[in-house]
Amino acid sequence: MVKLFIDDQQVEAEEGQTILEVARKFHIHIPTLCFYRAISPYGGCRVCLVEIADDRGSRLVTSCSYPVAEGMYVRTISERVLNARKVIVDLLLARCPEVKKIQELAAELDLGPPDPEFREDHDCILCGLCTRVCVELMGVGAIGFHGRGAKRKVTTPYEEISDICIRCGACAFVCPTGARVLELEHITGRKPVPLLSEFDEGLRSRPSIYIPFPQAVPNKPVIDKDNCVRLQMGKCGACQFFCEAEAINYDMKDEFRDLKVGAIILSTGFKGFDASRIFRLGYKRYPNVYTSLQIERMVNSSGPTGGEIKLRDGRQPKSVGIVHCVGSRDDKTNAYCSRVCCMYSLKLAHLIKERTGAEIYNFYIDMRTPGKGYEKFYEKLMRENVHFIRGNVAEVTDWAMTAEEEGRLVIRAEDTLLGVVRRIPVDMVVLSIGMEPQSDSEGVRRKFNVSCSDEGWFLERHPKLAPVSTFTDGIFIAGTCQGPKDIPDTVAQAGAAAAEVMALIDKGHVDLEPNSAYITDELCSGCKTCIPLCPFKALSFNAEKGISAINEALCKGCGTCVASCPSGALQQNLFNDEQIYEEIKGVLSYV
């Protein structure tokens, strides 16, 4: 440990730490431009200068690289430092007058605009972050400096398209000025495909280490192992330099844990309908055709546009078409109604109208607004002059027939109330997609021994009497895995499922069916016919004895195995052959 003074404050630091590290630890602000924690200090920009005094006298050094020493006096804002910093930032400002970061620094130092005589128009301050990150972190070296002095610039070797660039984009990421030269197209000659945020429905990119969404539980970052340079190529590892808690562990592996539980609630949710399956609606063909979920992210104030409704080119739409029943009530996709689309479409229509004042056209088959207060909201929207056109949309196209349609999207739809086919030009199309069972629901269903409807939704034991239970004891369902429903319904069902589970736990034991099956060992031939037939997996094969065995706790007394047993070894309590015969006799005795 060494003791030193920074701006008259005595601080303790570890040997080998730089002045900047220590200052930051004690929240003493020192501006930097060419410093990046994950790579070694460079000392190029000279903005982080501080004045130090030690036995060699007083002088200016770069805090990013200068190691602390016992008894050192450091001044981060002395007159000498400020004068030097002003001169340096003024020089940079003349070089890059339009760069925001430099403008901010200049403002911090009360610098005026640069002398027009010396004004240049660069967007690169030559801090070398990009080139160093490329070599030091990524081990690539696709870009470097070319020329020297004022002619220095960042480029690829021989200014040719790089064939070693891995298109990680780290250079552009660390660039403090957003320099044009780092657009990957200039470096690799190919347009890079950014990693798109799943939560933001692809409306913005995300890094390969990220918190999936603001409310994620646990609210912690995850590493996208398919795209992480560290995990894929053994390079980079920048994130670990930034994590104060030293929580980043690249050696972590996926692990499977066995948990013993008494009850399980399945709430695996739904999958949004893939709108590109309906080709005529133009999703993924026309950039301004969005799904309702994308608009949902857009209207969110923490979303990719900060709550603004924007077209891809940044304009605000002047008219928006909302197409209902995309992937619902349609024989070619899903025949059922997804229940939620009408209401959320109304909500989006309201929000878009409120934020942009755009003309809004809803194309619907029927308006389904059966909840409490829902109809009122529908009426309110009609008063807000949102247009409702009853009819199915035939197609979305950019093929203009009039001047008005030029450069816009045209929704062609039948207006069944007027009995005409209409063409409505809009700037933005919103497809109100329906709900579908999760693509892996079949596997989940089999794992938990739960039945499903013909559409693939999990089946409850009884629609009225046991709406959250399944045919398997201890397995409950809640939410849209059971069928399309809105949030209030989902919450209600989740509460019910939780209550069922609590009742089970509270009781402390499980009531068994009295009519379980049993095996007469002497009669069983070990043919295994019964085993695959048991829907509750209560039967197994006892290899030692060479016969089938039954777990009576699992048996529901359905009798399937009893009926199938060729040797009559399987019998069912309350329903053995003798008892049935007796019952038959009893019934027939009245005849």
Partner 1 sequence: MKITTMQGLEDARAQGERSLYPARTKITVGMATCGIASGAGAVYAALIEEVKNKRLDATVTRAGCIGYCQQEPLVDVLQPGLPRITFGQMTPKKARELVVRLSEKKGLPFEDAIYRTDEDKILITGQEVRLAAERAANGYRKVTLIREHPYFKKQKRIILRNCGLIDPESIEEYIACGGYRALWKALKEMTPIRINEEIKKAGLRGRGGAGFLTGKKWELCRLEPGEPKYVICNADEGDPGAFMDRSVLESDPFSVLEGMVIGAFSIGSHQGYIYVRAEYPLAIERLRAAIDQAEEYGTLGKNILGSSFTFNVRVVEGAGAFVCGEETGLIASIEGSLGEPRQRPPYPAQKGLWGCPTNINNVKTWASVAPIIFRGGSWFVATGTEGNPGTTVFSLVGKVRNNGLAEVPLGIRLREMIFDIGGGIQDDRAFKAVQTGGPSGGCLPASLIDLPVDYERLADAGSMMGSGGMIVMDEDTCMVDIARYFLEFTSDESCGKCTPCREGTKRMLQILTRITRGKGRPGDAEYLQNLAEVIKETSLCGLGGTAPNPVLSTLRYFHDEYEAHIVDKRCPGRVCKELISYSIDPEKCPGCLACLKQCPTEAIIGEAKVAHRIIGNKCIKCGACLDVCNYNAVIVE
Binding site for partner 1 (CB under 8 A): 41-47, 49, 59-60, 62, 65-67, 83-84, 87-88, 91-92, 94-95, 117-118, 125-126, 128, 144-145, 147-152
Q: Could you write out the three-class secondary structure of 324-371?
A: EEECCCCCCCCCCCCCCHHHHHHHHHHHHHHHHCCEEEEEECCCCCCC
Identify whether the C-beta of residue 361 lies closer than 8 Å to the C-beta of residue 387: yes
How many Cβ atoms from other residues are within 10 Å of residue 144's Cβ? 15
Q: Which residues contact 86 (CB under 8 A, 6 or more apart)?
A: 109, 111
- Which residue number, 18 or 482, has a Cβ lying nearer to partner 1? 18
Cβ neighbours of residue 23 under 8 Å, at least 6 residues apart? Answer: 6, 29, 30, 50, 63, 74, 76
CB nearer to partner 1: pick between 41 and 202:
41
Question: Within a 10 A sphere around the Cβ of 135, how many other Cβ atoms?
Answer: 16
Q: Please identify, using beta-carbon distances, which residue of 136 and 359 lies nearer to partner 1.
A: 136
Residue 115 Cβ vs partner 1, minimum distance, rounded to whole Å? 9
Report the nearest approach of partner 1 to the CB of residue 150 (Å). 5
CB atoms within 10 A of CB 465: 8
What's the min distance (Å) between Cβ of 94 and partner 1?
7
| Cα distances (angstroms) measured from residue 113 to each of 94, 98, 106, 109, 110 | 8, 11, 9, 12, 10
Q: Least distance to partner 1 from the beta carbon of 91, Å? A: 4
Half-sphere exposure of 190 (CA within 13 A, CB side): 12
Q: How far apart are CA 70 and CA 272, in angstroms?
A: 63
Query: CB 71 → partner 1: shortest distance, Å?
Result: 17
Task: Output the smallest distance, CB 139 to partner 1, in A.
Answer: 15
Q: Which of 22, 106, 114, 24 is nearest to 72 (CA)?
A: 22
C-alpha torsion 172→173→174→177, nearest 10: 60
Q: How far is the CB of 181 from partner 1 (least distance, A)?
A: 15
Considering beta carbons, is residue 126 or 289 the nearer one to partner 1?
Answer: 126
| Count of positions (residues) in the chain | 591
522 half-sphere exposure, CB direction, 13 A CA radius: 0
**Shortest approach of partner 1 to residue 88 CB, angstroms?**
5
548 close to 540: Cβ distance less than 8 angstroms: yes
CB of 34 to partner 1, least distance (A): 9
Judged by beta carbon, residue 154 or residue 326, the one nearer partner 1 is: 154
Instruction: CB nearer to partner 1: give 95 or 556.
Output: 95
- Closer to partner 1 by CB, 96 or 229: give it: 96
Residue 118 Cβ vs partner 1, minimum distance, rounded to whole Å? 6
Calpha distance 553→550 (Å, rounded): 9
Helix (H, G, I), strand (E, B) or coil at 313: coil
DSSP H or E stretch at residue 415: strand 409-415
- Complex with partner 1: residue 147 or 373, whichever CB lies closer: 147
| Main-chain dihedrals φ then ψ at residue 583, nearest 5 degrees | -65, -45
Looking at the Cβ atoms of 67 and 474, the one nearer to partner 1 is: 67
Nearer to partner 1, 69 or 231 (CB): 69
Q: Closest approach of Cβ 60 to partner 1, in Å? A: 5
- C-beta closer to partner 1: residue 92 or 562: 92
As measured in angstroms, the least distance from the Cβ of 314 to partner 1 is 34
CB atoms within 10 A of CB 17: 14
Closest among 547, 513, 520, 552 to 531, alpha carbons compared: 547
In the complex with partner 1, which residue's Cβ is closer, 66 or 458? 66
